Amino acid sequence: MQRPLILASTSRYRRELLNRLHLPFDVQPPDVDETALDGETPRELAERLALEKARAVAARFPEAVVIGSDQVADLAGEALGKPGDHARATAQLRRMRGQTLVFQTAVAVVCQATGFVQRDLAPVRVVFRELSDAAIEQYLQAEQPYDCAGSAKSEGLGIALLSAIDSDDPTALVGLPLIRTCRMLRAAGVELL
């Protein structure tokens, strides 16, 4: 019998991605403080939070296989979070125009009952075009990506803001690297096909 599968996330984007695997799963909020630690790099922050989210939910559901994920937009070593509102999104996109960012997307799979713990990182290099203030405003009015790290949705109109995406796990930029997730789920004993 397959163990229950839980996504430790409140992200609708991660839920939509995990649905692609055609597996039954539950969603539970991880209730983890996402504040960066002093001196923590964006990569370290994403990796720590993915694991903390998975462990927090696994502690409540020890028999389940739990997936945790986190993404941090990395602009030259500075973590850019979710903007939350129009003014912050405008400021983020102005800073990012013409810049290369790395979206540090981490995933962790934990099963407390079996002691299974794996974590991986799927960095995505993204080059933003030189964007006019008018283009930024038009984009934000159309898509309102205030709940996305880096203020842009590549799966929507945000693709028009970019000149290049470099990744070996195509869903990582949306928030859950499914290639890595599938590998870890198989290692945890979850049958995918």
Q: What residues are labeled active site? A: 70
* Beta carbons of 77 and 89 less than 8 angstroms apart: no
Q: Which residue from 143, 75, 145 is spatially nearest to 104, judged by alpha carbons?
A: 75
Task: Provide the CA 95 distance to its chain's centre, in angstroms.
Answer: 21
Residues 6 or more apart in contact with residue 193 via CB below 8 angstroms:
none
CA distances from 134 to 49, 90, 94, 95, 164 (A): 35, 10, 11, 15, 21
Quick check: helix, strand or coil at residue 90?
Answer: helix
